[in-house]
């Protein structure tokens, strides 16, 4: 769901260290292109580098929160 145009993009101004950490709901703007940020997934920080294709997306879209499922291999006797 998109944010209303008259409100503008969500940019967190209360972040203590904005050069290092982005919130998952922070919208990526053209000012951030080329920089590297850490995004918290709920368990660890994931490092992402901002590119032109990421503009107007949320930072959380590029930091997966779930591990891909794989079947465990059976041990041979």
Give the model confidence (pLDDT) of 3-17 as tens digits: 677 877 777 666 555
- pLDDT tens profile 21-69: 777 888 888 888 898 888 888 888 889 999 999 888 888 888 888 888 8
Residue 70 lies in a domain: no
Per-residue burial over 31-56, b = 16 or more CB atoms within 10 Å of its CB, e = otherwise: ebeeeebbbbeeeeebebebeeebee
User: What is the Cα–Cα distance from 12 to 23, expressed in whole angstroms?
Assistant: 8
Q: What is the CATH number of the domain that holds 4?
A: 3.30.860.10
Query: Given this model, what pLDDT does residue 6 score?
Result: 81
User: What is the Cα–Cα distance from 9 to 28, expressed in whole angstroms?
Assistant: 8
Task: Pick the closest to residue 20 from 43, 40, 4 (CA basis).
Answer: 40
User: What is the Cα–Cα distance from 53 to 65, expressed in whole angstroms?
Assistant: 21
Residue 51 lies in a domain: yes
Query: Given this model, what pLDDT does residue 51 score?
Result: 92
Give the domain range for residue 56: 1-65
């Amino acid at each position: 769901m998109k944010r209303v145009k008259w409100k503008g993009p969500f940019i967190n101004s209360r972040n203590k260290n904005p050069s290092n950490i982005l919130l998952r709901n922070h919208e990526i703007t053209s000012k951030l292109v080329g920089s590297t940020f850490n995004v918290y997934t709920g368990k660890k920080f994931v490092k992402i580098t901002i590119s032109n294709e990421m503009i107007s997306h949320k930072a959380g879209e590029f930091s997966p929160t779930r591990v891909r499922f794989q079947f465990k291999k059976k041990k041979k006797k």
